[in-house]
Amino acid sequence: MHEDVLKVQGLDVFYGTSQVLFKMSLSVRKGETLALLGRNGAGKSTTMKAMAGVIAARRGEVLLHGKSVLGQPSHRIARAGIGFVPEDRQIFPDLSVEDNLLIAIKPGVNGENDWSLERVYDMLPLLAPLKDRLGGQLSGGEQQMLTVGRALMGNPNVLLLDEPSEGLAPIMVQKIGDLIDTLRKVGTTIVLAEQNLHFCLGLADRAVVIDKGADVFVGTIRELNADEDIKQRYLSV
């Protein structure tokens, strides 16, 4: 049997009076990379934020290793093992790269200590020579790397990456792809929100497609890539 690290069931989310998620459901198995695909405004970030506790859900359930985390504040959810890399990155501009990383150190929920500063620099070699640079002086791609590094410092059980390739130059997109590939090879469980199916093809195991706030497809990334109808209807390909 597969072990679900993270499971979302029947999530309804509202912004004010307007509903944006409708019975959204997904599950992520240990060690897999799940792509969360959908067009602009489909509800990918809202789903990620609801899982991370950044926004509240009105109905539904978010289970981490079978235990409900719904309704807990985001810092508690982070401590429980969900590492969130938001689309707007949110690094500390006045702190050095190294201090941005050090401030995020925490053991995993079961005391895991897999990610040291040294290992994060090994995983993200681009950051090591920048360790004394201020966060605010980094390029977009460097900031993206730093945000991933910061999430890893918290020894998460599952890493949520919200459009990590967005707005980056092709060379940085390639580097982010390589990073995700390396992370999954060392067994990291990942949810990767993306508009770009192509970016996910070599990286993800399974995919959930979301449209107008609801999950409309779930399957392997290969099944999705072979499904011209779903791609035409719900993705910009």
Ligand X SMILES: Nc1ncnc2c1ncn2[C@@H]1O[C@H](COP(=O)(O)OP(=O)(O)OP(=O)(O)O)[C@@H](O)[C@H]1O
Beta-bridged to residue 162, according to DSSP, are 193
Q: Does 195 bind Mg ion (CB under 5 A)?
A: no
Q: How far is the CB of 13 from ligand X (least distance, A)?
A: 9
Q: Restricting to residues 36-55, which ones interact with Mg ion according to CB under 5 A?
A: 44-45
The interaxial angle of helices 140-153 and 170-185, nearest 10 deg, is: 20
Q: How far is the CB of 40 from ligand X (least distance, A)?
A: 4
Residue (38 or 154) nearer to ligand X, CB:
38
Q: How far is the CB of 44 from Mg ion (least distance, A)?
A: 5
Q: How far is the CB of 41 from ligand X (least distance, A)?
A: 4
Q: Does 43 bind ligand X (CB under 6 A)?
A: yes
Residue (158 or 210) nearer to ligand X, CB:
210
How far is the C-alpha of 185 from the C-alpha of 194, rounded, in Å?
20
Please choose which of ligand X, Mg ion, none residue 206 contacts, taking the beta carbon within 5 to 8 angstroms, the exact cut-off set by kind. Answer: none
How far is the C-alpha of 208 from the C-alpha of 42, rounded, in Å?
12
Q: State phi, psi for 193 to the nearest 5 degrees.
A: -85, 130
User: Which residue of 38, 83, 141, 156 would you call a contact of ligand X, by CB under 6 A?
Assistant: 38
Q: Which one of the spans 43-51, 93-101, 104-112, 116-124 is the region binding ligand X (CB under 6 A)?
A: 43-51
Lateral strand order in the sheet of 158-162 = 82-85, 158-162, 190-194, 33-37, 206-211, 214-220
Q: State phi, psi for 134 to the nearest 5 degrees.
A: -75, 145
The stretches of 35-109 forming alpha helices (DSSP H) are 44-52, 74-80, 97-102
Structure tokens at 82: 């969900």
Residue (41 or 136) nearer to Mg ion, CB:
41
Q: How far is the CB of 193 from ligand X (least distance, A)?
A: 7
- Residues whose CB is less than 8 angstroms from the CB of residue 172 and which lie 6 or more positions away in sequence, other chains included: 139, 140, 141, 144, 165
Q: Does 140 bind ligand X (CB under 6 A)?
A: no
Please choose which of ligand X, Mg ion, none residue 20 contacts, taking the beta carbon within 5 to 8 angstroms, the exact cut-off set by kind. Answer: ligand X
**Interface residues toward ligand X, by CB under 6 A:** 15, 20, 38, 40-46, 163, 195
